[in-house]
């Protein structure tokens, strides 16, 4: 297909167009038996004109999905330990460590060491578990916010909230990030009163940072390992420090 030489230059040029030629229609145009009418045409999704484009799209997706399913390459490094106080997990690949850090230390409560998968859930936890003002306010108004992002509902008790999440949002009744508050301190392994946690024998309260070194399975006898204590400098995280209270206006009301 031969295109006029000036076309590419026109594309790169300024927006706009030449003044349109005058339109002057004769009523005989398109009159029966003729029927032409100039009109934009809408095509539905299933139109056969779209067949080839759709097929190419799906071929592409199949390739992408095949690649996604493959095991990713990981960058191997000499083994090192997580530097967060009390955490003793060991890693030999940067991606693994980044994942570990993001999941366990990225949104961790500095008061009880529980870790959460998102800032949103951490904030809810801090409010509900560690904020005495919250408890006071909760006696008078609905303070327990629905944990599903985007849902504005609030409830009088955590029980009511859980009911809402189960019935309205179809969440599981034993949703791990909505444990009723216990009176225990940092969770002890395997000793929870919460019966649903018993199904998982060794995890105890969910997302616990390993706070008790003695509780970790000991290295098999006969093996001695020396771990580097430096986190490779290539690791860099956006968020990270465990948080306690965010500074909020409420602080001023603390007396």
Partner 1 sequence: MWSRYPRRSGLVACGVEELRRRRREREAALRKARREQQLVSKRLLREEAPEEARGECVAAVLGEAEVQQFLRLAQRGTEEKEREKALVSLRQGLQHPETQQIFIRLEGSMRTLVGLLTSNRALLQLEAARCLHELSHSEQSAVAEACLPATSYLLTYLSGHSSDFIELCLYTLGNLIVESEVVRRQLLPQGIVPALAACIQSPHVAVLEALGYALSQLLQAKEAPEKIIPSILDSLLPQHMLRLMQPGPKLNPGVAVEFAWCLHYIICSQVNNTLLITHGALSTLGMLLLDLAGAVQRTEEAGLELLACPVLRCLSNLLTEVAVEAMGGQMQLKDERIVAALFILFQFFLQKQPSLLPEGLWLLNNLTANSPTLCTSLLSLDLIEPLLQLLPLSNVVSVLVLTVLCNVAEKGPAYCRQLWPGPLLSCLLKTLALSDTEVVGQSLELLQLLFLYQPEAVQAFLQQSGLQALERHQEEAQLQDRVHALQQIALHG
Residues 131-170 within binding reach of partner 1 (CB under 8 A): 148-151, 168-170
Give strand ranges (E) for 51-105.
76-81, 90-93
What's the closest the beta carbon of residue 105 comes to partner 1, in angstroms?
A: 10
Query: Beta-strand (E) ranges in 2-114?
Result: 76-81, 90-93
CA distances from 47 to 6, 50, 52, 107 (A): 35, 6, 11, 49
Report the 10 Å Cβ neighbour count for 121: 18
Beta-sheet strands, E only, within the chain: 76-81, 90-93, 144-145, 154-155
User: How many angstroms separate the Cα of 187 from the Cα of each of 8, 86, 114, 205?
Assistant: 68, 14, 8, 6
- Coil, strand or helix at 101: helix
Q: How far apart are CA 242 and CA 210, in angstroms?
A: 15
Residue with Cβ nearer partner 1 (65 or 255): 65
Span 85-124, contacts to partner 1 by CB under 8 A: 89, 95-96, 98-100, 102-104, 106-107, 115, 117-121
Where in 190-229 is the site for partner 1 (CB under 8 A)? 199-203, 206-210, 217, 220
Closest CB to partner 1 among residues 14, 132? 14
Number of residues that bind partner 1 (CB under 8 A): 108
Q: Tokens for 112?
A: 């009880």
Query: Does residue 78 interact with partner 1 by CB under 8 A?
Result: no
Q: How far is the CB of 224 from partner 1 (least distance, A)?
A: 16
Shortest Cβ distance from residue 4 to partner 1 (Å)?
4
Q: Name the segment binding partner 1 (CB under 8 A); options: 71-79, 154-162, 226-234, 243-251.
A: 71-79
26-34, 132-140, 228-236, 245-253 -> range binding partner 1 (CB under 8 A): 26-34
Q: How far apart are CA 126 and CA 111, in angstroms?
A: 8
1 to 20, contacts with partner 1 by CB under 8 A?
1-4, 6-8, 10-13, 15-20
Q: What is the closest distance, in whole angstroms, from the C-beta atom of residue 12 to partner 1 in the complex?
A: 7
CB nearer partner 1, residue 126 or residue 138: 126
Our CB check for partner 1 shows the closer of 40 and 140 to be: 40
Copy the structure tokens of residue 26.
């004769």
Of these, 40, 222, 225, 247, which contacts partner 1 (CB under 8 A)?
40
């Amino acid at each position: 297909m031969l295109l006029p030489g000036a076309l590419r230059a026109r594309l790169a040029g300024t927006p706009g167009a030449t003044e349109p030629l005058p339109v002057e229609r004769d009523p005989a145009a398109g009159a029966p038996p003729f029927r032409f009418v100039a009109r934009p045409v809408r095509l539905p999704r299933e139109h056969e004109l779209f067949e080839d484009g759709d097929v190419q799209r799906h071929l592409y997706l199949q390739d992408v999905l095949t690649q996604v399913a493959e095991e990713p390459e990981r960058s191997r490094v000499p083994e090192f330990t997580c530097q967060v106080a009390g955490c003793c997990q060991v890693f030999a690949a940067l991606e693994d460590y980044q994942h570990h850090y993001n999941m366990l230390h990225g949104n961790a409560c500095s008061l009880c060491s529980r870790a959460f998968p998102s800032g949103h859930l951490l904030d809810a936890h801090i409010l509900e578990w560690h904020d005495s003002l919250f408890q006071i306010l909760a006696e008078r108004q609905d303070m327990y916010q629905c944990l599903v992002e985007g849902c504005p509902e609030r409830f009088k008790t955590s029980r009511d909230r859980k009911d809402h999440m189960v019935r309205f949002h179809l969440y599981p009744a034993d949703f791990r990030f909505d444990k009723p508050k216990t009176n225990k301190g940092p969770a002890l392994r395997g000793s929870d009163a919460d019966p649903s946690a018993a199904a998982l024998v060794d995890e105890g309260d969910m997302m616990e940072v390993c706070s008790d070194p003695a509780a970790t399975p000991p290295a098999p006898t006969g093996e001695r390992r020396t771990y580097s204590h430096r986190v490779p400098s290539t690791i860099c995280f956006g968020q990270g420090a465990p948080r306690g209270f965010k500074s909020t206006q409420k602080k001023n009301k603390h007396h």
